[in-house]
Amino acid sequence: MTPVLEISGLGHRYGQRQALSGLNLTLAAGECCILLGPNGAGKSTLFGLLTRLLALQQGSIRLFGEALRPSLLGRVGVVFQQPTLDLDLTVEQNLRYFGALQGLHGKALGLRIDAELERLQLAERRRERVRALNGGHRRRVEIARALLHQPALLLLDEPTVGLDMPTRQQLIAHLHALARDNGLALLWATHLIDEIDPVHDTLALLHRGQLLAHGPVAPLLAASGSGDLAGWFDHHTGALP
């Protein structure tokens, strides 16, 4: 089956600073790949390249078997690190606005909004202003919005930042279910190892712009001789997760 995402030999510089180099990564449908890396590892740079916010300098990115171009981004959903909802609009108005930008209208848009609000357990909040929601609910609205146009690939840049523990855990469960139950491919940047599902997820460990390790959790742990993920992360990066 054609991979959802294929990255080869990807490099990026900001002036003299090499932020990414020689990055190879493949993502299949239904795969949840946790992109792990300490601050400055290059995660946001990678997302910038995947979403074309940054121009490709070196290497290649293929989406759904084709070289990355703007029209292919119509099949990608993105949840950025910084919240981007309009706080003065209701949940539903935010979704309608974004859906219209994606070319969805009328009944079709209404059905998509209903489905995503239901999936993220937000149906009762639809008429509330976003300003009145807590951080966890706001994050869920952003995820619902990113899924409105039914993307095949979801990019998440540290989606749980600033949330309390129970809210984080709920959100983490929602996200894993998207890959497991809906076949969505997820590339999920974080520096928190407790977001990893050690049975189902694959790991990609980025450090100082290079991919140090990539694959399912158990063989990576076995190969490094580390007993747990915290030890494994520390072993590779010298940083505590």
Ligand X SMILES: Nc1ncnc2c1ncn2[C@@H]1O[C@H](COP(=O)(O)OP(=O)(O)OP(=O)(O)O)[C@@H](O)[C@H]1O
Q: Give residues in contact with ligand X (CB under 6 A).
A: 14, 17, 19, 37, 39-45, 191
Question: Least CB distance from residue 79 to ligand X, whole Å?
Answer: 14
Q: Please, which residue, 114 or 234, has the CB nearer to ligand X? A: 234
Cβ 96 to ligand X, closest distance in Å?
31
| Minimum gap (Å) between residue 17 Cβ and ligand X | 5
What does residue 203 show for φ and ψ, rounded to 5 degrees?
A: -115, 145
54 vs 89, beta carbon nearer ligand X = 54
Looking at the Cβ atoms of 25 and 41, the one nearer to ligand X is 41
Question: What are 124's two structure tokens?
Answer: 């009762």
| Closer by beta carbon to ligand X, 81 or else 93 | 81
Q: b or e along 13-42 (b: 16 or more beta carbons within 10 Å of the residue's beta carbon)?
A: eeeeeebbbebebbbebbbbbbbbbbeebb
* Residue with smaller CB distance to ligand X, 117 or 186: 186
| Beta-strand relationship, 58-63 and 5-14 | antiparallel
Rounded to whole angstroms, the Cα distance separating 207 from 194 reads 18
Read off the tokens for 106.
Answer: 């009328």
- Taking the complex as a whole, the smallest distance from the CB of residue 117 to ligand X amounts, in Å, to 30
* CB neighbour list of residue 134: distance below 8 Å, 6 or more residues apart: 167
Least distance (Å) from ligand X to the CB of residue 7? Answer: 15
